[in-house]
Structure 1
Amino acid sequence: MTLSTPMLAAVPLVAGLMGPALVGATPTQQREPRPDRPAAVQHLPAAKRSEVVEHVAARGSADQRRVLDYWTPQRMAAALPIDLLDIVTKGGGLVSGLTGKAGVGLAPELSGATTKVATRRHLSARPQQRTAGSRWMTGGAVTRTTGRVFLTVAGADFVCSASTVRSANRDVVVTAGHCVKDGTGQWADNWTFVPGYHEGGGQPYGRYPARRMFVAAPWSHAADDSYDVGMVALATSSGRHVTDVVGAQEISFDAPRGGQAFGFGYPADPPYNGEHLVYCAGPLHDDPHGETRDQGLGCDMTAGSSGGPWLSRFDLGSGQGTVTSVSSFKYSDDHRTMYGPYFSSSAKALFTAAERS
C-alpha cells in the first residue's frame, strides 16, 4: 500500500500485502514519505482506471483438488494475517523481522497474547446499531455468506475475509484487492474460501477454491487504495455453486455516500483470535486526509478482517444487506477507524467480469 506525503502512512489490514508500516507503528513510522503512488496513478489514463485485470487461478479439477489438499488443518491453523507478508517474505525471516516489535501486528500464537476476547462488550448477544467491534451472535444469513479466505503469497500462508454476493454464475465472492494480488506484485496462490467458518476450524458449508481472480488496473498497476477491491469466481464444491449452498448478499455500486454500515470479518490479532465472526457498526464518513475516495467506519477489528463485507440497509433479524465496500486499511495514527473503498463503476466492471466467467 502506498500513500503520498504529507499523508499519514496507511496500514493495510490484512493484506498489508504492500505495507511495511504495521498497526501499532511507532511515531517515526507514521509520516513515512510515499512519493510514488500519486505519480503512478496520475499517469494512468482515465479509461484504464476501469480496466479489469484478470488471473486464472486453479485450472480444472486436478488443480482445484491440489489446492484443497494443500490446506491441511495444520496449515489453516498456522496461516498468518496477510499484513505480515512484508516481514515474512522480505525482512530476512519472520523471527528476525519481528525483533524489537513485541507483539505488534502479530497473530495471537506469535505474540504470546491471550487469544480470548478481552472485553465484555465484545461478547454482547444483542445486535447493536453502533459498535467498534463485537462478536456477531445473532445468526442469520451473514453467518453463512461471510467466510475466511486462505491464500499463499511468496511461499507463506495467510488469511483474509470475504463474502458471497448474488451473481449470475452463483460463484462470486468479494474481498479486498490486496487479498487477491500483492498490488503491483504477484497474485495469490492456493486461494480458498471457507464460508461460515467457525471456532476450531469448522467448515460447515465446504471449501471453494478460486477459478479466476479480478482486480482493477489502478490496484494492479499502482496499488491505489481507492481501488482495493477484488472479485473472485469460485469453483464448485461437490458439484454445487457456493451461493446455492450458503445464499448471497446483494451488491450495489455508486450508492449514496455516508449513511450507516455494518462491517463483518474474522480479525485474528489480539484481542481477537480469528475464530469468530466479528462486526462493527456505525455511520460512514469520508477520508479526512482526502488521499482516497474511501469511507471510514469506527472499528477496532484487527488484521485478518481485510476483505470482509460492509453491508448497508442491513437487517438485524435476517442478516441480509447490500455490500457497498470491504475492509481495506487503517492509518497508523488511528487504529479506531477502518477504511473501505467506494464501489464505483470500476468495482462494477470487476463484478460483471467475475459473474460472466
Structure 2
Amino acid sequence: MRMRRWTWPTLLAASALMIPLRAGAVDFTCWNPGGAGLASAREEYWTPERIAAAIPDGEMLPTLPTDGFQSDREGNLVGDAERAPIGEAPYKYGGQLVYTRGGHDYSASAQFVADANIVIGAAHSLWKGGLAASNIRFYQGYSGGGGTLYRMDRAAVLLRWTEVADNQPSLARSQFDYSVMRTTVASAVGKYELAIDGAHVDDDVTVTGYPARLDGGEYMYRETARITVQAGTAYDARPHPMYGGGASGGAWFVTADNVHKAVSVVSSGAADGVYGPSFTQDTADLIAIVKNGCP
C-alpha cells in the first residue's frame, strides 16, 4: 500500500489522461485490491451465493430538517424512485460494486467516470476503520444478477479521507468520500464525463444506485433530488427515497447537450436528504494518478 504526494512535475511527466492538472499536490493512499479470486486462482471469489449474501453498505444520517418538502403520513419526504433503464446511457455506465473489508463481504454502487479504465465509488466502501477493501469487483450493468465483470488492479482514496473515515457522517466528512479504481479491461459501454464543481444550489440532479430496501438491491434505481446546500466541497440534496444502504457510491449526474456529467456520488443519507462530495481538481488529479498505476 502506498501513501504519496504528487506534485505538478511528476503528474505532467506521468499522466496519459487528458485532464488539466494543476500546480500543488494531492495526498492519497493506493493499493492493489485484487485479493482472493485473482485471474490466476482456480476459482473466482465472488460466487452468486457470496454476492447474494453481501451486506448492502451504507451510512445513515439522522433525520434532517424538511425545509418545506412535503411529507407523507409516515413522515418521509415525498419523492419517487424508479428502476433505471440499465441498458441506456448513462445508466449503463454504472453497476454493482462488491468487496471484502474487515472480513465481511459488502455490496455498493459505482460507475465508469472520466476514463474507460476508471471506476468511481464511495471512499467509505473501500476504506474504513483503518482497513482497506480487497476482492473488489465491478459488475457493470448488474440487473437481477449477471452484468459484465471488471476486475481492479488499483484502488485509491484521498489521505484526508483516511483521517476522517471513522467520524460520524457529516457534510464536512462527505467532501472526501469518493474512491477511484482502475479496471484491468477498458469499459465496453462508455463513461460519465467528470464535472468539477458541476452543480449548485437549486440545481436538480439525478441520483443513481442499488438501494437494498427496493427489490433487495438487485436493480439500479434513480431519483431526482434538488441541491439545497453547498458547503465547502460537499452537497446536501433533497429528498432521498433510495435511502437505506446499497446506493453508496452511486453517481449524481446532470445532462447538458446530451453529455452526461457526474457531479458527485452518494456518501450518506436519510429519507429526507443525501450528502455527496463535489468533485474538484483533486478528483481529476487522483484519477490521473490511478490511471497511471500509482507509481
What amino acid maps onto 1:252 in structure 2?
A: A
Aligned-pair CA distance for 1:299? 1.4
Map of 1:230 onto structure 2: 179
| The one of 122, 128, 146 aligned to 2:94 | 146
Residue 339 (structure 1) shift: 1.1
Report if aligned partners of 1:198, 1:275 keep a CA contact under 8 Å in 2.
yes
* Aligned counterpart in structure 1 of residue 160 of structure 2, from 192, 196, 218: 218
For 2:30, give the aligned amino acid: E
| Deviation of the 1:56 alpha carbon | 2.0
Q: CA deviation at 1:154?
A: 1.4
One-letter code aligned to 1:144: K
TM-score, length of structure 2 as denominator length: 0.74
Post-superposition offset of 1:254: 2.7
| Structure 2 residue identity aligned to 1:150 | V
The residue aligned with 1:342 is 278
The code of the aligned residue for 2:200 comes to R
Matched, 1:189 2:140: no
Q: How does 1:135-174 map to 2 (within 5 A)?
A: 135-137=83-85, 139-167=87-115, 170-174=116-120
Question: In structure 2, what is the Cα distance between the partners aligned to 1:295 and 1:218?
Answer: 20
Contact kept in structure 2, 1:162 and 1:308, CA below 8 Å = yes
Structure 1 residues 337, 211: closer, same or farther in 2, change over 3 A?
same
Task: Give the aligned partner of residue 54 of structure 1.
Answer: 30
Is 1:178 aligned to 2:124, yes or no? yes
Structure with more of its chain in strand, by fraction: 2
- Matched with 1:35 is none
What amino acid is the match of 1:344? Answer: T
User: Any idea what SS the aligned residue of 1:227 has?
Assistant: coil
Partner Cα distance (2:290, 2:43) in 1 = 21
| Counterpart Cα distance in 2 of 1:335 and 1:314 | 28
Preserved contact between residue 253 and residue 345 of structure 1 (Cα < 8 Å) = yes
More helix as a share of residues: 1
* Aligned CA distance change for structure 1 residues 202 and 329 (closer, same or farther; 3 Å): same
Displacement of 1:356 in angstroms is: 2.4
* TM superposition shift of 1:82: 2.0
> How far apart are residue 278 of structure 1 and its match?
0.2
8 Å CA contact 2:54, 2:105 repeated in 1: yes
CA distance in 1, matches of 2:254, 2:43: 33
* Aligned-residue offset at 1:68: 7.1
Spell out, residue by residue over 1:110-161, the C-alpha distance to the aligned partner (whole angstroms, 9 max, x if none): xxxxxxxxxxxxxxxxxxxx95411124841233211000101111110010
CA distance in 2, matches of 1:164, 1:138: 14
Gaps of 5+ in 1: 1-46, 85-129
In 2, Cα distance between equivalents of 1:83 and 1:67: 32
Q: How does 1:96-115 map to 2 (within 5 A)?
A: none
What code does the residue aligned with 1:279 have? R
- Tell me the residue number matched to 1:298: 239
TM-score of the pair, normalised by structure 1: 0.62
Superposition deviation, residue 164 in structure 1: 0.5
Contact 1:295–1:341 at 8 Å: present in 2 too? no
Out of 36, 51, 57, the position equivalent to 1:76 is 51
Distance in 2 (CA, whole Å) between partners of 1:282 and 1:197 is 23
Q: Which amino acid aligns with 2:153?
A: R
Q: Secondary structure at the match of 2:234?
A: coil
Whole-angstrom distance in 2 between the partners of 1:162 and 1:68? 24
Counterparts of 1:310 and 1:341, CA distance in 2: 10
Number of residues of Structure 1 aligned to a counterpart in Structure 2: 243
**For residue 324 of structure 1, what is the aligned residue in structure 2?**
263
Which whole-Å deviations, capped at 9, do the CAs of 1:221-264 have from their partners, x for residues lacking one? 2223210010100112xxxx2x2x12111111133523221111
Counterpart of 1:354 in 2: which secondary structure?
Answer: helix
Residues 52 and 65 (structure 1), Cα distance of their counterparts in 2 relative to 1, 3 Å cut: same
Structure 1 residue 52, shift from structure 2 partner: 2.1
Match of 1:278 among 193, 216, 221: 221
Q: What is the match of residue 262 of structure 1? A: 206
Q: Deviations over 1:6-52 (max 9, x none)?
A: xxxxxxxxxxxxxxxxxxxxxxxxxxxxxxxxxxxxxxxxx77x412
Whether the 8 Å contact between 1:230 and 1:350 is mirrored in structure 2 is: no
CA distance 1:305–1:138, shift in 2 (3 Å)? closer
* Offset from partner CA, 1:164-195 (integer Å, 9 cap, x none): 0232xx2101111112211x511101000000
The 5-angstrom pairing of residues 30-49 of structure 1 reads none
Distance, in Å, in 2 between the alignment partners of 1:194 and 1:261 is: 24
One-letter identity of the residue aligned with 1:51: D
